[in-house]
Amino acid sequence: MFEIVSSGGVVMIFLLLLMALAMMIVAERFWSLRNKEIIPNKLANDVIKWAKKKQLDEAHVERLAGNSPLGYLMATAIKQRDRERSDIIEAVEDAGRHVSHQLEKPLHWLQAIAEVAPLLGLLGTVIGMMKVFASIMEFGVGDANQLAGGISQALTTTAAGLIVAIPTVLFYRYFKNRIADQTIVMEQQVMQLIDNLAPAEKS
């Protein structure tokens, strides 16, 4: 294994660093995007009950905002409860864009890794081929051992770049879809709160 890595040259070191970074981001997103962290079970029902009972003091709302992304959106709706329904929805949509941005922020690094890794592999290929041509100019084409190093670097870095990029792209798409699904659920639950909030506050 060490021989394979060393045959890739300096480029291989950068590819290994990108692989390690991608693995850390993937592990962190799996942990952070759990449903119980984003959409806590029964939170929507509890908040609707608080709204109906008018248990919406400022301290309660602030704790709700720090509870989770769903709690933050619900707290935003509650803070706007004295305004028109359209204004409440607009405020929640603005907050929703902020939440989505925060959830997707680490994914930008995954996207960058997926784009850079194949380019690094290509760079390793170019460097390897340059070594091959340099060996041909110096020793001719008869000495296979002189050509093997450059060819090995070219093939190794190309494969390593793809090995890093392909899973990274798959995980990136998976997390994007997961966030989109969670966003839809949050929107539905916040709309339920808005439907129950206005009558409770204006009755």
pLDDT in tens, 77-89: 998 888 888 889 9
Nearest one of 145, 114, 142, 112 to 131, comparing CA atoms: 145
Count of the separate structural domains present in the chain: 1
pLDDT at residue number 186: 94
Q: Which two tokens stand for residue 199?
A: 């009558």
Mean pLDDT (the chain) is 84
Q: How far is CA 100 from CA 6, 52, 73, 103, in A?
A: 41, 28, 11, 5
Q: Are 132 and 150 in contact (CB under 8 A)?
A: yes
Q: Which two tokens stand for residue 186?
A: 């949050």
* CB contact set of 160 (below 8 Å; sequence gap of 6+): 8, 12, 15, 121, 124
Q: How far apart are CA 93 and CA 33, in angstroms?
A: 20
Tens digit of pLDDT for each residue in 93-124? 999 999 999 999 999 999 999 999 999 988 88
Q: Which two tokens stand for residue 171?
A: 């995980």
Task: Identify the domain containing residue 71 by its residue range.
Answer: 2-202
pLDDT at residue number 202: 40
pLDDT-based confidence at residue 5 (cuts at 50, 70, 90) = low
pLDDT of 200 over the 50 cut: no
Q: How far is CA 82 from the centre of its chain?
A: 36
